[in-house]
Structure 1
Amino acid sequence: MTNVDVHQHLWTPALVAALRARRRPPCLEGWTLHLDGEPPYEIRPADHDVARRAELAAADGLGRALVSLSAPIGVEWLPAAEARPLLDAYHEGAAALPEPFGAWAAACVRDVDAATTAKDLDQGFVGLQLPADALADAAGYDRLAPLLELLEERDLPLFVHPGPASGGGDGPGWWPAMVPYVQQMHAAWFAFRAFGRARHPRLRVCFALLAGLAPLHGERFAARGPDEPGTDRDVFVETSSYGPRAVEATVRVLGVDTVVQGSDRPYAEPPHHPGFGLGGAAAYAFRVANPRRLLVGDG
């Protein structure tokens, strides 16, 4: 039995060096992160110490912690010539992480290159993360179809994570996480239903942060949509930054079989009670059974 956290971030020395080599956002000056559309953010070096993070994963009882590139940085949206050095640095560092870490691959969404992404996946990544704002409409599914078809061919899952924030540079520090990130996930959830599932019937997909609570709008959808939303066993949501009230409400809509544990560490902490107050069976589903289905399917 392996407890899994599907959503963590861990910046390796290779990625840090690549970000420091840049002179415009996204870039690092020392440990200060500069992004377009967000205030400067101070990174704590200890949060990205591999040995310390491995100890925290062990203390959390995890057999596997899956890390991904922080999509809000905006690397995936850079032109390929700028994105590739950062993506290469991320993949190099993430592929070399010790146990219990695994990792999601990343890809340029501005200049799509499925052949290069295939080579990245060959390094042992569990699947592919894409930014939610790249999958928010039909045009996004048209542009990224080669990447999604690649995942279907390889029977690997997709992880949808908030992308860069916009319009939050003058707001309080919490604004990007509470407004654009949530809005992106909400749009991505319904865009997959409208445009994604029919085109990619075999794709398993996980939406970060409970899909911005989009599943809770099922009643409104039923009042205006062509049919009942229903439940898709190959569509998952992860729990990062949410607690018992939101998780219980989501379970009431989707059932217990489509929720997986994600913490977003180091930007948020994992729950103190893995079952979110729903009991041991729910904890097992969120941490073991459901992540296994997400990663390898029902077979």
Structure 2
Amino acid sequence: MIIDAHAHLLPHDYPEDAPACFPHMEPIEGSTDRLLVFDQMRFPAKEVFWQAERRLEAMDASGVDAEVVSPMPPLLRYDLPAADGLALSRHVNDVAAELSSHAPDRIIALGMVPMQDPDAATAELAAIKEQGLAGVEIASNILGSSIGDEKFLPFFQELERLDLPLFVHAMPSPSDRLPFSAMGTYVVGIEGMYAAASLILGGTAAACPNLKISFSHAAGGFAMMLPRANYFWGGSWNEEPRDLGRAVMPDDGPSPLEYARRFYYDSMVFDRRTIQYLVDLLGADRLLVGSDFPAMLREEPAAKTLKSMDLPDDQWQDIAWRNAMRWLGREAADLPLAEAVATA
């Protein structure tokens, strides 16, 4: 059993009366693909982004039993006027719900909200749950503001109250510190790290201990920084007992590592050595399978690198599907092949 907890969807089209700032899809001659046009973006999108039958065929071909599909990250455009951002979110959410309805046990859809208006985003969460969507995706920063900023705390508290899982996808912030060519590489690592760290440092993790949250690409460089953060908190190396005489910023709360072990992380980090570090530091019970499909090609078969690591069976089962179910708050009976996994 494999659940791909990081896959994406795109609408086939947008309403004819949509605001001019909406994206639109243009036909590509001689192809079932369509061209996503969104300001300067031109992205050729394959039919599998929106066509349920193609999606299921692709899953079967890769050995994936279920996908958690979230809006393609460029749709998370927080620079739109708030009303237009809400309208775009509702259209994408309708598309996500319709896609999932074709095979709700295999296509598990997340929605989106207009985070440029935290109050509107918070109010929209109840509608997302009522619509049957599994949770919500947001970007790693909101127009340059960390998601751990106190202005977003009511949003996270409402997520926790409604028991809705959250997926945080790394996205660039308004900055010219790195060239555009780094947007898909180094920026992913930096932004993921900022997002996860901000939830700890800003107090959200303490205020929302039952928040179910996952980060794309293992929250980038976050795991590499955690031992240093733990030293500043407790004054010891290698997570040994605290030495407050050495601690730089001691406090009485949980350690940074304890907070980090409440989060989930998809393991799409492209290297078995990095995955092993994540297992050793954070635990196999924190990791998920992820692919970015169809924006990126999956390994064939899915999770090939994970399978090559010869992990103990309990760790493999956790990463392959059980952690995704815990993050989503679902039971094994909700899955395809439920009988096969009932005793796993």
2:45 is matched by which residue type in structure 1? R
Counterpart code for 2:190: Q
The answer to whether the 8 A contact 1:166-1:180 is kept is no
CA-to-aligned-CA distance 1:42-85 (integer Å, 9 cap, x gap): 32323424322211112333332111112334334422221123
Picking from 181, 189, 194, the partner of 2:196 is 189
For 1:105, what is the secondary structure of its paired residue? Answer: strand
TM-score (norm 1): 0.84
Contact 2:3–2:321 at 8 Å: present in 1 too?
Answer: yes
Task: Provide the residue aligned with 1:17 in structure 2.
Answer: 14
Q: Equivalent residue of 1:203, what SS?
A: coil
The equivalent residue for 2:7 is 8
Q: Residue 160 of structure 2 aligns with which residue?
A: 152
Q: Runs of 5+ in structure 1 lacking a partner? A: none
User: What is the letter of the counterpart of residue 12 of structure 1?
Assistant: P
Does structure 2 retain, via aligned residues, the 8 Å contact 1:4–1:261?
yes
Q: Secondary structure at the match of 2:211?
A: coil
Match of 2:46 in 1: 45
User: 1 CA distance for matches of 2:208 and 2:280?
Assistant: 26
Q: Which amino acid aligns with 1:42?
A: F
Query: What SS does the corresponding residue of 2:218 show, helix, strand or coil?
Result: helix
1:194-273, aligned counterparts within 5 Å? 194-195=201-202, 196-225=204-233, 226=249, 228-232=255-259, 233-268=261-296, 269=298, 270-273=302-305
Whole-angstrom distance in 2 between the partners of 1:237 and 1:51: 28
Distance of 1:70 and 1:165 partners within structure 2? 17
Equivalenced residues, count: 291
Larger-Rg structure: 2
SS of the residue 1:72 aligns to: helix
Higher relative contact order (CA 8 A, sep 6+): 1
SS in 2 for 1:129: strand
Give the percent of matched residue pairs that are identical in Structure 1 and Structure 2: 23
* Cα gap change, 1:171 to 1:111, in 2 (>3 Å): same
TM-score calculated relative to the size of structure 2:
0.74
Pick aligned residue for 1:179 from 176, 183, 186: 186
The CA deviation string for residues 161-211 of structure 1, in whole angstroms up to 9 with x for no partner, is: 12345457x956x52111322211110111111122112122121111010
| AA in 1 matched with 2:194 | A
3-state SS in 2 of match to 1:110: coil
1:253 positional shift: 1.1
Q: Which runs of 5+ in 2 are unaligned?
A: 28-33, 234-248, 332-344
Please tell me whether the aligned partners of residues 215 and 264 of structure 2 are also in contact (alpha carbons under 8 angstroms): yes
Structure 1 Cα separation of the partners of residues 175 and 96 of structure 2? 31
- 8 A contact 2:171–2:188 mirrored in 1: yes
Return the alpha-carbon distance in structure 2 between the equivalents of residues 29 and 143 of structure 1: 38
- Alpha-carbon separation, structure 2, partners of 1:26 and 1:115: 24
CA drift of 1:153 comes to: 1.0
What's the counterpart of residue 56 of structure 1?
58
Is contact 2:2–2:320 with CA below 8 Å preserved after alignment? yes
How do 1:71-90 and structure 2 match up within 5 A? 71-90=73-92
Shift in CA distance, 55/139, structure 1 to aligned 2, threshold 3 Å: closer
Q: Which has more helix, going by share of residues?
A: 1
Deviation by residue 1:103-135 (Cα, 9 ceiling, x = unmatched): 112111111212222112211111221111139
The 3 A distance-change label for structure 1 pair 137 and 84 is closer
Partner amino acid, structure 2, of 1:230: L
Equivalent position SS for 1:231: helix
Q: Give the corresponding residue for 1:282.
A: 315
**Change in 2 beyond 3 A, CA 1:220/1:178:** same
